[in-house]
């Protein structure tokens, strides 16, 4: 079967690997139709992805068709279309026992800690399949990335009268914007990339500001001096993450959605004076997947503008580096493995 392997930073290869003949107990054999590309994949290509070893088959944002599956209580059968929840948790650790499967002690994420879905066929646990009878394969491949934003916003526990700042208008930041808007809050978006800010204004109707043009003063203007009560940093940039504490209102909260391999340093008095709540958010849960799919199926989330770039298996290797260039205007790229 056709398989794309990231052999080392900056180098993919298209190879032919043996297709699995059957699925292990508790697993389903699925045909991969669409693979979404996210920041994790881009970081891995650059050689800057934590928890990562090479060679690796990328791909954790998957739209698939079930080929083989045993008896199950989810009502899933061969031919069904599903999104894949790519977080392979152990089910036994303290986090899993408390329902926090997204931060399992022994977490294995497809395409990160273990080989993912950039291949024609893969076996996945039945419990990680989420079926839809109405969503397209491309929409199914968007569910995982949207679930990240869904989970991050749920972690924040915001009130509807808040003003919220999202720093970083990349794919993950945009998912935070999407779900913050569903909470009824006022949303401001900050980035250095004018193309991405223009996308936010057009797609979401939100107010934007430049991170490189005196953002603190601009935030004070936009909030009558109060500053945002919740700030999400989705940049994965240590300087941005460290600076973010100064954008939070007194009594507010800061949610780090992106992550880095570097240390982060803050002056304690700046956090203490605000009695600031600092939160981390990681991955998503099955409940997040179900909510995202329900919102797409009902039309409350419009996915039509999310995918800006598409590639075939054969063209992806040549096109992938261009998606790292901010000038390309890439919001979300999707690779087609099957029609």
List beta partners, residue 66: 30
For the chain, how many residues are written? 339
| Residue ranges in the chain modelled with pLDDT below 50 | none
- What ranges in the chain are assigned the alpha helix state H? 39-46, 94-97, 137-156, 171-182, 194-204, 215-222, 238-243, 268-273, 286-298, 313-319
pLDDT, tens digit (0-9, with 9 covering 90-100), for 194-208:
999 999 999 999 999
Residue 43 backbone dihedrals phi, psi, to 5 degrees: -65, -40
d(CA 335, CA 33): 8
What's the confidence (pLDDT) of residue 31?
A: 97
What's the confidence (pLDDT) of residue 197?
A: 95
d(CA 158, CA 180): 9
In this structure, what is the dihedral angle of CA atoms 173, 313, 284, 332, given to the nearest 10 degrees?
20
What's the confidence (pLDDT) of residue 261?
A: 81
Question: Measured over all CA atoms, what is the biggest interatomic distance in the chain, rounded to whole angstroms?
Answer: 63
Question: What residue spans define the domains of the chain?
Answer: 2-133+307-336, 149-280
What's the confidence (pLDDT) of residue 125?
A: 97
Tell me the CATH class for 149-280: alpha beta
pLDDT, tens digit (0-9, with 9 covering 90-100), for 47-97:
877 778 999 999 999 999 999 999 999 999 999 999 999 999 999 999 999
Rounded to 5 degrees, what angle do the CA atoms 14, 2, 23 make? 135
- CATH number for the domain whose boundaries are 2-133+307-336: 3.90.180.10
> Beta 186-191 vs 163-167: how paired, if at all?
parallel
């Amino acid at each position: 079967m056709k398989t794309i392997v990231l052999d080392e930073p900056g180098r993919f290869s298209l190879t032919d690997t043996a297709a699995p003949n059957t699925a292990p107990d508790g697993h389903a054999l699925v045909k991969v139709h669409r693979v979404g590309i996210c920041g994790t994949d881009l970081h891995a290509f650059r050689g800057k992805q934590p928890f990562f070893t090479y060679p690796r088959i990328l791909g954790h944002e998957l739209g698939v068709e079930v080929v083989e599956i045993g008896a199950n209580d989810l009502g899933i059968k061969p031919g069904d279309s599903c999104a894949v929840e790519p977080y392979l948790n152990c089910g036994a650790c303290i986090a899993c026992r408390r329902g926090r499967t997204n931060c399992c002690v022994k977490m294995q994420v497809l395409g990160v800690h273990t080989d993912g879905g950039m291949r024609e066929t893969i076996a996945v646990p039945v419990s990680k399949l989420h079926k839809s009878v109405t969503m397209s394969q491309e929409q199914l491949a968007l569910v995982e990335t949207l679930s990240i934003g869904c989970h991050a916003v749920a972690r924040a526990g915001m009130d509807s009268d808040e003003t919220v700042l999202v720093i970083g208008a990349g794919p993950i930041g945009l998912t935070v914007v999407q779900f913050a808007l569903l909470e009824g809050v006022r949303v401001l978006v900050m980035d250095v990339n004018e193309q991405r800010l223009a996308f936010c204004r057009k797609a979401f109707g939100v107010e934007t500001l430049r991170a490189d043009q005196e953002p603190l003063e601009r935030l004070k203007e936009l909030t009558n001096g109060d500053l945002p009560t919740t700030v999400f940093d989705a940049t994965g940039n240590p300087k941005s993450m460290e600076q973010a504490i100064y954008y939070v209102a007194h009594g507010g909260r800061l949610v780090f959605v992106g992550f880095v391999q570097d240390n982060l340093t803050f002056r304690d008095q700046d956090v203490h004076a605000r009695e600031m709540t600092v939160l981390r958010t990681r991955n998503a849960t099955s409940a997040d997947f179900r909510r995202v799919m329900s919102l797409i199926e009902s039309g409350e989330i419009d996915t039509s503008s999310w995918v800006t770039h598409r590639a075939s298996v054969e063209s992806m290797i040549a096109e992938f580096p261009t998606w790292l260039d901010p000038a390309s205007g890439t919001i979300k790229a999707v690779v087609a493995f099957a029609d």
